[in-house]
Structure 1
Amino acid sequence: MKTPHHSRRSTPTSGRPCAYHLRKPGLTRRAKHRTLADLLRRLNPVLRGWCNYFHHGVSARTFSYVDHFAFWRIIGWLRKRHLGLNMHTLVRRFLPGWQVRAEGIDMFRPRAVAIVRYRYRGTKIPTPWSRPPRTPAPVA
């Protein structure tokens, strides 16, 4: 994305690649026999790795989308696993305070990842015209 100051910003493609990984059958669709803790153990590294890769860009809106998508994907998984429960009972029993948590494992929330932009290093980037840095002569 180009800004008014003629600098470029890198943005992930609106969370679609991460959402694709969350839709994989092995993660949430075919895992009805697993426990919620096991699902979180498999899902958290995918979310954490994707967010660590993109946390230097302009990604806050995308992280919010991925957080929303993953949260409701887990809710859908819980509803499919416990067919007889209505939403009120499901939230009371499995989501205390609307936090996805099981056996001491919390869902990793991409929305909470801090965005860290690159530092400006303008004069420290070597160019063909800059002098090489002085290094002291080795003492033998």
Structure 2
Amino acid sequence: MITHIEEGLDFLGWRIQRHRKRGTDQHYVCTYPSKKAVLAVKRKIKAVCRQVEVNQPLDDLLRRLNVMLRGWCGYFRAGVSSAVFAYLNSYLWESAWRWIRRKHRRSTWKEIRLRCCGGGWWPASERRELINLEKVGTTRYGVVTLVRC
């Protein structure tokens, strides 16, 4: 299948598309995670949160989520992925908090924060903390300058 670079294409989980830099005539080819890849990782986060029973410790949930997301971010950090990482970070936080609320149904928010977050808002156990995807740095190897002919 042949497509124009302006329309873009999906390849190995990446969306490859040409964008014009605002205010100039320069064009850049950007690579970022495709919508299909983002939906797949959201489904995996949801599946992990369902597989880990609420009678298990929080550390088990954090360990499984961190392993999966480190690999996913390691693959997609070589593109223009910071906006996608921020979006997934909020989804991850909401999913973890839903799991924690199911685990501690009768506790107040303040009690849960003291027990599961050390008084803050980011889920953590005694041994590990939930990965913060917004702090994952990106390197833009896939950006290529194109000159208009």
State TM-score, norm by structure 2.
Answer: 0.72
Write the distance in 2 (CA, Å) between the matches of 1:89 and 1:73.
Answer: 19
Q: Which blocks of at least 5 consecutive residues in structure 1 are unaligned?
A: 123-140
Partner residue, 2:61: 39
Taking a change above 3 Å as real, the CA distance of residues 120 and 43 of structure 1, as seen in their structure-2 partners, is closer
Query: Counterpart of 2:84 in structure 1: which amino acid?
Result: T
| 1:92 equivalent among 95, 114, 130 | 114
Given that 2:28 and 2:144 are in contact with CA atoms closer than 8 Å, whether structure 1 keeps it comes out as no
Partner residue, 2:90: 68
After the TM superposition, which segments of 4 or more aligned residues of structure 1 sit over 4 Å from their partners? 119-122
Count the aligned residue pairs.
120
Query: Counterpart of 1:82 in structure 2: which amino acid?
Result: H
Write the distance in 1 (CA, Å) between the matches of 2:143 and 2:60.
Answer: 42
Write the distance in 2 (CA, Å) between the matches of 1:79 and 1:120.
Answer: 42
**Deviations along 1:58-111, whole A, 9 cap, x unmatched?**
110100111111111111101001110122221122112223211221111111
Partner residue, 2:19: 3
The farther-off stretch of 37-46 and 96-105 is 96-105
Q: Which blocks of at least 5 consecutive residues in structure 2 are unaligned?
A: 1-16, 21-25
Q: Which structure: larger Rg?
A: 1
Partner residue, 1:77: 99
**Deviations along 1:45-69, whole A, 9 cap, x unmatched?**
1110110010011110100111111
Partner residue, 1:104: 127
**RMSD across aligned C-alpha pairs, in angstroms?**
2.1
Taking a change above 3 Å as real, the CA distance of residues 81 and 121 of structure 1, as seen in their structure-2 partners, is closer
Partner residue, 1:48: 70
Relative to its length, the structure with more strand (as a share) is: 2
| 2:50 equivalent among 2, 14, 29 | 29
